Amino acid sequence: MTHTSDPHARRILILDFGSQYTQLIARGIRELNVYCEILPFDADISRIKSFKPAGVVLSGGPATVTEADTPRADREVFDLGCPILGICYGMQTMAAQLGGKVETSKQREYGSAEIRSTSTSPLIDGLHDRLEADGTALLQVWMSHGDRVSTLPDGFRVLAVSENAPMAAIANLDRNFFGVQFHPEVTHTTQGRAMMERFVRDICDCTGDWTPANIIDDLLSRIREEVGSDGVVLGLSGGVDSSVVAVLLHQAIGEQLTCIFVDNGLLRQGEAEEVMETFKDDFGIRIVQVDASERFLEALSGITDPECKRKVIGGIFVDVFQEEADKIENICWLAQGTIYPDVIESAGAGTGKAKVIKSHHNVGGIPDTLELQLLEPLRELFKDEVRAVGVALGLPQSIIYRHPFPGPGLGVRILGEVRQEYADILRQADAIFLDELRRSDLYDSTSQAFAVFLPVRSVGVVGDNRSYEFVISLRAVETVDFMTADWKRLPYDLLARVSTRIINEVRSVSRVTYDISSKPPATIEWE
């Protein structure tokens, strides 16, 4: 593979003012094959200038511009000479900082709204969801604001109005500054993707070089340059991120890579065999397999709190991994499958004032006792980009598009104490559930599915006998983004079939339930 184009050359900078939706802005831009990064609004201006953005997006946020000590962009951001798009709070702070005024609106606006185009601009010209009799364009958008711009800065004009926002979109066309009171990054704004494409591709003149082929080419060259002839060790879990890292590193440095696969006894059915077959047999990657299931189960004895279980499982993994890594010569690097949502700084993180919902990932880092350098090849990528890279590297669909499963595995799917008996029961029930989803062609349309073990006994009737056994709860969700998840409306006959199979085939289960909790308010995982 030869280097074709620098995927970072033309890029967008997003300044985060604390919106829940900031990641969606970044993901939307990346989907346009344009590289972007998120920095907190108060990032040092030298850092912003060194990024050399082709355009800047000012995100929304929970604060109000009408108060004195709320977030502002560095004044020099407006002197970078590149186009700027302010979204919601980002529009308001831009207007206020450039000489306009913002006021508290008499009527807040949260939810769907309709805006009317009043002036031409390269941002929204030709876009509409419906037309009035006189040809005026109307657009369906998503609003989330209690303040509004009341006075325009010099050089700005109104592009669109809504019932509660007389300045729903504004622009200074001479400076290529644009502001929208609504959120184009959410799917409720039906023309939002088109607007983002207008800004990124047309106004900022960004080419579509952020592609899997260019990303892989760039990563391979960077890995080889950084690692040289050193050895690298990777804790291979079989999850999407570590799987892609394994194949990427193997392609970059070959035999210099050693993977350590730790079986903690809490894996899904057949997972260990699948990992070894895929990576050792098919790809020829050097893998050390360690069966540490007894060690994990002993350490978890008597522990019921889910966070405590997570810490114990993580701690034992580090210990086992380190013991194995110490046996390998010439290891200088520890590779991890850290991805971009793991490391994004939330707005105001340094002050502790952030009011944001961000990713819930846990970043491992390096244990103090491991004297290794950290190698994180996927650090720039979102999960969907990791999958695209994995497909391009030749990883099978069953690995790339498998349902996400937490590192602690069955350990947090067992409510209460983890026991071997419970793990075996749950593993079988979970496998039956996934098998039936695949047979019904519903696996790929479901974002996440798993079984949960409830350590309570319920009376059931099996044949002519009463059965006083454990309960399995089934969980399936569909989700569009990291903030929301709705329970999957699986067909009743499928649920009945899964229930019957579990009760018939898995000893010690007398009842199967289906969880219909959604996020919000409930969490995705049972813990």
Q: What is the pLDDT of residues 367-399, one digit of tens each?
A: 666 778 999 999 999 999 999 999 999 999 989
Are 256 and 232 a contacting pair, CB within 8 Å?
A: yes
Q: Comparing 62-71, 156-165, 310-319, 339-348, which segment has the lowest mean pLDDT? A: 339-348
| pLDDT for residue 486 | 85
Q: What's the rounded Cα separation, in Å, for the pair 90 and 98?
A: 12
Catalytic residue among 36, 88, 206, 259: 88
Burial of 133 (C-beta count, 10 Å sphere; 0-12/13-18/19+): exposed
Q: What's the rounded Cα separation, in Å, for the pair 244 and 492?
A: 36
Q: Which residue type is seen at 399?
A: I
Q: What is the pLDDT of residues 91-118, one digit of tens each?
A: 999 999 999 999 887 777 788 889 999 9
**Residue 67: pLDDT band with limits 50, 70, 90:** confident
**Residue 63: pLDDT band with limits 50, 70, 90:** confident
Q: What's the rounded Cα separation, in Å, for the pair 7 and 262?
A: 35
Q: Residue 152 carries which DSSP code?
A: P
**Residue 408: pLDDT band with limits 50, 70, 90:** confident
Q: What is the pLDDT of residues 484-497, one digit of tens each?
A: 678 999 999 999 99
Q: What's the rounded Cα separation, in Å, for the pair 324 and 236?
A: 13
Q: Is the dihedral of CA 444, 448, 454, 458 positive or negative?
A: negative
| pLDDT for residue 367 | 63
**Residue 350: pLDDT band with limits 50, 70, 90:** very low
Q: Report the DSSP pairing between strands 137-151 and 130-131.
A: antiparallel
Give the neighbor-by-neighbor strand order of the sheet with 231-235: 287-291, 257-263, 231-235, 331-335, 373-375
| pLDDT for residue 358 | 32
**Residue 4: pLDDT band with limits 50, 70, 90:** very low
| pLDDT for residue 193 | 95
User: Is-catalytic flag, 204?
Assistant: no
Give ∠ CA 20-147-12 in degrees, rounded to 5. 45
User: Is-catalytic flag, 308?
Assistant: no
Phi and psi dihedrals of 291, rounded to 5? -90, 100
Quote the tokens at residue 292.
């540490």
| pLDDT for residue 56 | 98
Q: Is the dihedral of CA 259, 264, 269, 273 positive or negative?
A: positive
Are 224 and 257 a contacting pair, CB within 8 Å?
A: no
Who's near 379: CB < 8 A, 6+ residues apart?
338, 339, 340, 342, 343
Among the listed residues 311, 247, 321, the one whose alpha carbon sits nearest the alpha carbon of residue 290: 321
Catalytic residue among 128, 145, 183, 250: 183
| pLDDT for residue 484 | 65
Tell me the C-alpha to C-alpha distance, in Å, between residue 504 and each of 39, 238, 435, 463, 500: 54, 30, 15, 10, 6
pTM of the entire predicted model: 0.86
Q: What is the pLDDT of residues 256-278, one digit of tens each?
A: 999 999 999 999 999 999 999 99
- Averaged pLDDT for residues 9-22: 92
Q: What's the rounded Cα separation, in Å, for the pair 29 and 10?
A: 12
Q: What is the pLDDT of residues 222-254, one digit of tens each?
A: 999 999 999 999 999 888 999 999 999 999 999
Average pLDDT value for the chain: 89
Is residue 2 over pLDDT 80?
no
| pLDDT for residue 65 | 85
Catalytic residue among 82, 128, 145, 185: 185
Give ∠ CA 102-108-109 in degrees, rounded to 5. 105
**Residue 3: pLDDT band with limits 50, 70, 90:** very low
Q: Residue 78 carries which DSSP code?
A: G
| pLDDT for residue 234 | 95
| pLDDT for residue 284 | 95
Q: Domains, the chain, ranges and CATH?
A: 11-203 (3.40.50.880), 212-400 (3.40.50.620), 419-514 (3.30.300.10)
- Percent with pLDDT over 70 in the chain: 92
User: Is-catalytic flag, 360?
Assistant: no
- Which residues make beta-bridge pairs with 177? 84, 172
Quote the tokens at residue 281.
């047999």
